[in-house]
């Protein structure tokens, strides 16, 4: 293709985005757009799948049948989110095997929040309330992102995330209104999950390297700091209803800004976990690799069956 032709295609592409039209898999797109989307969408898919692990840890120990049913449904939803997103990523010309390989080799990242352990039942409440709550704030703008398959997957994902957030909040509400020990358990979970939840929005705007380009492509509609502020403003009143206190001595309503001010985030901890040194990084990755290896016979059997069936068809046709 000549330089002029590429310039022309680029102009058509940019005009489409400006008009809020979707880019579909068969449309021409700049290589950088394709690569960025593969990176972000697969990172999102991996997060959904790895995100099943901390909560899966509590399915067998849920305190009642009702809680067990709700948690099972939530964890299954996360599997579904992962599968939609892997399928959507495959439309950009990368195979499922390659995506798994990137996760299993540690080349691809997933959300660092899932490298923290779930020590008590209250952690299941805190995850639903805070982690799924933060995920919603991150994901709602993606329903109108420019890449069609990603935007459409997000519509359903966000509806399910809102159920996850409510099931978590209800667990917290029950514990907070329970015995002093239960309330303490809820407070302890809030203490441990608050700061990692704020880190889910990513580095501050001045540290973030991808923001500008992603805003241009409408892959991002708001900056990390704006989303983080929105989460804090929304969550503080919810903590007040629970009668729990947010573990930040600097947290204070700022009348002038119309937002809560908050204390400094420990970015050293964030980068440590991103680099693989969080409390559960090794365990999480090993669990995924084991699941892949132990599932090999299922994949082999399915492939052998498909081959047999194809052979039979050829014979019949002949
Ligand atoms: Fe999800
Ligand atoms: Fe969720």
Tell me the per-residue pLDDT of 131-189, one tens digit each, with 9 for 90 and over. 999 999 999 999 999 999 999 999 999 999 999 999 999 999 999 999 999 999 999 99
CA 182, 249, 225, 253 torsion-angle sign: positive
197 C-alpha to ligand 1 centroid (Å)? 15
Q: Ligand 1: distance of its center to the CA of 314 in Å?
A: 42
Closest ligand to residue 157's CA: 1
Q: How far is the CA of 260 from the centre of ligand 2 (A)?
A: 26
Q: How far is the CA of 14 from the centre of ligand 2 (A)?
A: 33
- The Cα-based distances of 70 to 27, 65, 128, 155, 186 in angstroms read 40, 9, 11, 21, 19
Rounded to the nearest angstrom, the distance between the alpha carbon of 239 and the centre of ligand 1 is 23
Q: How confident is the model at residue 318 (pLDDT cuts 50, 70, 90)?
A: confident
- The Å distance, Cα 161 to ligand 1 centre, comes to 6
Query: What's the gap in Å between 294 CA and the centre of ligand 2?
Result: 26
Q: What's the CA-to-centroid distance between 258 and ligand 1, angstroms?
A: 30
Average pLDDT over residues 205-218: 78
pTM beyond 0.85: the answer is yes
Ligand at shortest distance from the CA of 164: 2
- CB-based contact 124:168 (threshold 8 Å): yes
């Amino acid at each position: 293709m000549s330089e002029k032709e590429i310039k022309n295609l680029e102009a058509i592409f940019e005009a489409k985005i400006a008009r809020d039209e979707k880019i579909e898999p068969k449309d021409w797109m700049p290589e950088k757009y394709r690569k960025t989307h593969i990176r972000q969408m697969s990172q999102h898919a991996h997060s959904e799948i790895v995100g099943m692990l901390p909560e899966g840890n509590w399915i067998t120990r849920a305190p009642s049948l009702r809680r067990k049913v709700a948690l099972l449904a939530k964890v299954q939803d996360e599997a579904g989110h992962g599968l939609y997103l892997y399928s959507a990523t495959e439309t950009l010309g990368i195979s499922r095997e390659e995506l798994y390989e990137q996760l299993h080799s540690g080349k691809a990242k997933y959300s660092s929040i899932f490298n923290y352990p779930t020590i008590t039942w209250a952690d299941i409440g805190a995850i639903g309330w805070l982690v799924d709550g933060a995920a919603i704030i991150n994901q709602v703008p993606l329903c109108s992102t420019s890449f069609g398959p990603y935007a459409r997957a997000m519509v359903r994902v966000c509806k399910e995330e809102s159920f996850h957030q409510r099931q978590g909040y209800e667990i917290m509400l029950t514990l907070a209104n329970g015995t002093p020990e239960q309330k303490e358990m809820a407070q302890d979970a809030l203490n441990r999950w608050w700061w990692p939840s704020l880190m889910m929005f990513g580095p501050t705007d001045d540290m973030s390297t991808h923001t500008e380009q992603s805003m241009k492509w409408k892959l991002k509609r708001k900056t990390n700091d704006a989303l983080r502020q929105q989460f804090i403003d929304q969550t503080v009143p919810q903590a007040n209803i629970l009668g729990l206190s947010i573990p930040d001595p600097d947290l204070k309503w700022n009348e002038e800004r119309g937002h809560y001010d908050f204390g400094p985030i420990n970015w050293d901890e964030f980068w440590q976990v991103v680099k693989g040194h969080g409390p559960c990084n090794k365990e999480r990755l090993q669990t995924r690799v084991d699941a892949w290896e132990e599932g090999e016979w299922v994949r082999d059997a399915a492939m052998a069956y498909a081959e047999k069936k194809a052979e039979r068809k050829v014979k019949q046709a002949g």
